[in-house]
Amino acid sequence: HKLYQTTATVGDSTLSRLIQLVEEAQANTSETEKLVDAFARKYTPVVLTMSLFICTVPWFFGAETGRYWMLNGLIIMVVACPCALTISTPVTYSAGLAAAAQRGIIIKGGSKLEALGNVETVLFDKTGTITTGRFALSHLDLIGNLKSRKELLELLAIIEAPSSHPLSACLVSAAREEGVVVPPGVALREHTILKGEGVSAYVDDEKVYVGNDRLFNRLDMYNISLQQIELAEKW
């Protein structure tokens, strides 16, 4: 015989917590639902009373008249019944909340769902919300023919490896993903962080700068075409 010990109940599962959140959200009624409920509480008794009156009173004027008006009374009761009005609103909200929950979005009630219909602008904390929170090299444009793409990535990997900046790790990772291996014996010296601009260092005997447009404007090395400048500013 085998003994099994459980460490949590079914109510502690992620699915159960998700169901609980959706149920709590459904219980949080919106202003529209409150308005419909308040209307139905007054409207329903009036419709039922009127239908009951039409179905019963005409019988005092004869069977033929009674049958005719009873049919009309039942028709009025069915047509004027507020069931569609009172049911459609909560069902719509429940369907919306459930559909959002299936996509990993928890909306705290019909009132919040209704408020989304009036939203014109949405602001996101994009890092970690609509992005992975990790930088990546998406485009590398070579200017001139002094260095090949492989040689440029080698220099970037060498000069950025000692830095702790997130963009440095991104460039080193991009070089690694393209199969670039830093040759052994490369001498890196005078590695300097240029605050707000980038980094500089000597790779063997070659002075290398890596940074933004402020750095290269200060060094008077931003002598590239207008099209390339516009492209760099767009990035």
What amino acid positions are annotated as catalytic residues?
A: 125
State the Cα–Cα distance between residues 166 and 27, nearest whole angstrom. Answer: 45
Q: CA–CA distance from 83 to each of 40, 58, 59, 96, 162 (Å)?
A: 9, 27, 28, 20, 70
Residue of 65, 122, 171 whose CA lies nearest to 57: 65
- Strand ranges across the sheet with 206-211: 188-194, 198-203, 206-211
Cβ atoms < 10 Å from Cβ of 42: 9
Residue of 84, 87, 59 whose CA lies nearest to 71: 59
Collapse the DSSP code of 189 into the 3-class scheme (helix H, G, I; strand E, B; otherwise coil) and give the result: strand
Q: For residue 201, give the H/E element and its range.
A: strand 198-203
Q: CA–CA distance from 24 to each of 16, 36, 164 (Å)?
A: 12, 20, 45
Residue of 18, 32, 39 whose CA lies nearest to 110: 32
State the Cα–Cα distance between residues 188 and 176, nearest whole angstrom. Answer: 19
Q: How many residues are there in the chain?
A: 235
